[in-house]
Structure 1
Amino acid sequence: MVDDDPDFREGLVWLLESRGLPTRSWAGGDAFLQALHSGTQTRECAVVLLDIRMEPLSGLATFEQLKALAWPWPVLFLTGHGDVGMAVAAVKNGAWDFLEKPFQNNLLVDKVEAARLAAVELVQHEQERLRMQQALAALSAREREVLREVLQGHYNKNIADHLGIAQRTVEFHRANIFEKLQVGSAVDLAHRLGRLGLE
């Protein structure tokens, strides 16, 4: 929670913690960024609530610096009526969402919870992607050749002909590949690689 209004900030921290959402707060974007740079605030899975109007560093300027740091987690802007246009532009620029003050407490908590779940899914996606990358790197040169053929939709007999090996050898490599990559079929493998953005 980053907001330069101490009463609003404290009230919001109380609200979120009363709903089971552990919260830390900063009085401005500069203090929050300093905490990130110093390592006192880890980059663990978190949602950032960011007031759009702050001095000396605005919420938008803070957001731009977060983007430059490759901040991976959702940013939810809190904005007054006159700043809705800026908030919409920020969402188009990668912010998660915005909420106009004054807002209903339940609406805020719902948006924070939705953003938190999205952040958790992102962590899980990146962990699965890393595991798949490591599994692909661990394949032998021959397994990689067979894998390329499998992903092109070729049958075992055609793969054997293309690679100049026995069909039984192709079946053996294919079974090893599926076991190492923890997939049940070529279709499953193709879907998973596509979803993870891996070739």
Structure 2
Amino acid sequence: MGIRAAVVVCATSFLLGALFTHWIADSLTLWKSPVTDQNLWTAASYYAILAKGPIELHYLLASVVTIGGTTILWSLLDGEAGNLMFDGGSIFLFATTVAMYLYSVLPNILTVFTSLPVHQANDAVPTDLRSIILDVASNNLISSVALTGVLGLQAGRFWAENSTDDDDQDLVDSDLRSKSPPLDSGAESS
């Protein structure tokens, strides 16, 4: 059981790290006010680099997602109450992130950003491109929060399991104390 949790935590942490690299672009669009055309072009250029990157990186991310999702499902199928609660929530958040990426982020990055129009840093960003850049940045943020939730649920599961183990040990210790014969301090030796 510990190995499965470790695989889920490692896969989720790796994916979070990959999402955090997008902070270069996302911080310019989500956390700066007002959002300038220069910031939007910088974010668009970053996404264009991702779109033109080596396909092996996409395969690596897909394999990490597959390993993480499969491991959560495997743990969920054990049917234990803790697994149903914590892993059920984890698979929901993990699946939400995967669905968002498959249906929104990746199609936008692989179609829109493969060929950006020629522009200067201060040129006006077309309205449809502006909307897509903000949408991709928002989806990256939502995915980061969801994957952080997976880590939180896995930590909660670990805490709950260890708390139960401690309670079981306390019960065994008190049971042993109640069954052991009392020590007779007044007994004389011959």
Q: Same fold (TM over 0.5)?
A: no
Larger RCO, structures 1/2 (Cα 8 Å, 6+ apart): 2
Structure (1/2) with the larger helix percentage:
2
State the TM-score, normalizing by the size of structure 2: 0.32
State the TM-score, normalizing by the size of structure 1: 0.30
